[in-house]
Amino acid sequence: MNTPQSPKSSLLARVPAMLGLVLPAAALGLVAAYAVHRLPEAEAAAEPTTPAPIDAALIQRGEYLARAGDCIACHSAPGQAAFAGGLAIDSGHGLIYSTNITPDRQHGIGAYTEQQFADAVRQGRRADGQHLYPAMPYPSYAKVTDADIHAMYAFFMQGVKADASVPPATDMSFPFNQRWGMGLWNWFFGADKPFRGQPGWNEQVTRGAYLVEGLGHCGSCHTPRGFAMNEKAYGSAEEKFLSGGDLGGWEVPSLRGLPRWNEQDVVDYLHTGRNRTAAVAGEMTSVVEHSTSHLQDADLHAIAAYLKTLSPVKDRAADVQPQGAAETQRKLTAAVNLTLGERLYLDNCAACHFVTGQGAERVFPRMDGATVVNADSPSALIHVILTGAATPSTAKAPSVLVMPGFGHRLSDSEVATLATFLRQGWENRAAPVSEREVASIREKAEAQAPAVAEKTAAAH
């Protein structure tokens, strides 16, 4: 059973719900006034310029930085060219389709000047002056340096093959289809400050902070959100930054301090999608596959070193007491007078995770003391039981380890009973799971992916 992070099939998976902008009715007058006075005028199309000489090293660096920013994940749709856009992101208020960011001059960003490219990346503003939705994590990308923007611009203009694909038009319901309203959201909730290190950080920690807070945009999923789906913090100086939250019905864990992992555990997880005790699932599967598994060891160690400096939040899994593990193991081994939860575990889980709940290092994740099992919300655990998970194939771990989903064979009541056993067996001491919670998550999981696929097919 893998340790999930957060889902990516919907907008709620990657900054998503931000697009909701649940503004009170009383603020609509202010929004209208803002529109009248601040609606940006479209900028004139850039005149063609003589292409700059190709700098192979600069382009290679730009490609690396684009990997660090995971640009390919959102700007590439299944069956389409890389970076040609068209990926459907369900905002809850309509579908947002990612844009074509290949150097095609008509349908992509080939006519963008470097300044226009920088404005799109760091300010969420297109070349025509219109605002992007913050499914594009520009509040984090605001911290990217001019030098890195320059390298990325070189890569996208000279290292990416131009493609004339035209993604479907974003289709949001009123008033969310009024892009100028994003200007007001940016004014209230955005972040546009460059990256700054903290006193006392060494060079390694500073590099890790730059990657996490900027291109890595880890806070997009791992920082709690406010009433307008705004991230409550954008940097390490604020305790809420990376303290976890809930996106799309998944419990997103805190990254602060990571008290149960050492630095090498963090590096292994980001490089391969697995470590001594855990394996990836949900949104993080794609992040590892397309982004972190391609980073250099030095950068992964820098990320780990930075995360370990952050003061941890309370972690139930770190507080468990070694008093029930032996009893759970004894009962499962004897297989006598078992509860329904214990029987369900033996029938469906024990072959991989064993009666000890310890799993197998770098193969089957640990259940005893796992964060996903002990989380305040059981949502991520329920998702994995219902739909399963698979580790990505990476350069350092090319094999794919698959956990099957059990939604087809277990009822809502049985899933709730199994999840409750997991959360209260061995040393775990989390609240029980209700059948109602399972039914709600099953309904969303079954409806979400087919709905997005159907709308995407219709749009194309």
Q: What is the pLDDT of residues 343-393, one digit of tens each?
A: 999 999 999 999 999 999 999 999 999 999 999 999 999 999 999 999 999
Please tell me what DSSP assigns to residue 377. S
Number of residues that this document lists for the chain: 460
pTM of the model: 0.84
DSSP strand pairing (171-172 vs 94-97):
antiparallel
Helix (H, G, I), strand (E, B) or coil at 390: strand
For residue 16, CA distances in Å to 20, 26, 137, 164, 230 come to 8, 24, 10, 27, 10
How far is residue 193's CA from residue 213's CA, in Å, rounded to a whole number? 11
Mean pLDDT value across the chain: 84
Amino acid letter, residue 285: T
Residues 450-454 have a mean pLDDT of: 44
pLDDT of residue 9 exceeding 70, the answer is no
Buried b / exposed e along 188-201 (16+ C-beta atoms within 10 A): ebbbeeebeeeeeb
What is the average pLDDT across 405-425? 96
- Most distant CA pair in the chain, distance: 79
Q: Give me the domains of the chain, ranges plus CATH numbers.
A: 316-459 (1.10.760.10)
Structure tokens at 124: 């969420």
Highest mean predicted confidence (pLDDT) among 96-100, 179-183, 199-203: 199-203
**Contact in structure between 82 and 88 (CB atoms under 8 Å):** no
* pLDDT, tens only, 54-71: 899 999 999 999 999 999
Going from the C-alpha of 174 to that of each of 94, 320, 415, the distances in angstroms are 10, 48, 39
Position 229 scores a pLDDT of 73
Q: How confident is the model at residue 447 (pLDDT cuts 50, 70, 90)?
A: confident
Question: How many C-alpha atoms does 175 have within 13 Å on its Cβ side?
Answer: 14
- In a 3-state reduction of DSSP, which class is residue 356? coil
Cα dihedral 280→253→422→330 (10° resolution): 80
Average pLDDT over residues 22-28: 34
| pLDDT score at 171 | 75
219-to-209, 212, 229, 254 alpha-carbon distances in Å = 11, 8, 13, 10
pLDDT digits (tens, 9 = 90+) for 103-122: 999 999 999 999 999 999 99
**What's the rounded Cα separation, in Å, for the pair 102 and 170?**
18
- DSSP string spanning 168-198? PPPEE-TTTT-TTHHHHHHHHH---PPP-PP
Q: Looking at residues 201-223, what average pLDDT do you find?
A: 96
% the chain with pLDDT above 90? 61
